[in-house]
Amino acid sequence: MGKVAEAERITEEKVVENENLWRALSKEELISTGLKAALALEEEKKKEAEIKIAKLEIRMLKFVLEKAARAMEEFKASSEMKDLNITFGQKAFIKDFKLYEGRVAQKFFELDLSFLKEELDEEVGLSGAAANPSPIKVVFESSKLIAEVSEPM
């Protein structure tokens, strides 16, 4: 009977050991499930934070664009912009005038166009302003300059 008792004792020890291992495994599974749930919750919080950040970035971008558009409109309406448009128009006119004057001189080389230079020298005073300030109406529409110049009398 010694062997049967020994086998029963070993079996009993193994049953107890299996039960202990089963409880430890159940405990580990419970901890693992809790950690997975905590991780899922943290991932959800991270996604919500990322969405919130994206929305804030969009709001900030819209704000910056609105401010830039407002500043651009204010600049377009400013006297500085009007002065820049007038200066640009004058320079473009002078450049085109000289270009066409050169083309006329090449095409009609027998013509004496020196009178144009003399007239320009007479019209321009010491300050560089025209002696005959013809009325000029400057109209701004969507940042395009439209100039209407009346004929000198």
Residue 130 has phi, psi (to 5 degrees) of -70, 140
| pTM for this prediction | 0.41
Residue 146 has pLDDT above 60, yes or no: no
Is residue 140 within 8 Å of 82, Cβ to Cβ?
yes
DSSP assignment letter at 140: E
Residue 4 has pLDDT above 60, yes or no: yes
Residue 58 has pLDDT above 90, yes or no: yes
* Residues 120-149, mean pLDDT to the nearest whole number: 50
pLDDT at residue 120 in the model: 59
pLDDT at residue 64 in the model: 97
Give residue 109's pLDDT band: very low, low, confident or very high (50, 70, 90).
Answer: confident
Label residue 46 exposed, middle or buried (CB < 10 Å: 0-12, 13-18, 19+).
Answer: exposed
Question: Which of 37, 16, 15, 35 lies closest to 27, judged by CA?
Answer: 35
pLDDT at residue 61 in the model: 96
Q: Residue with structure tokens 């001189």?
A: 105
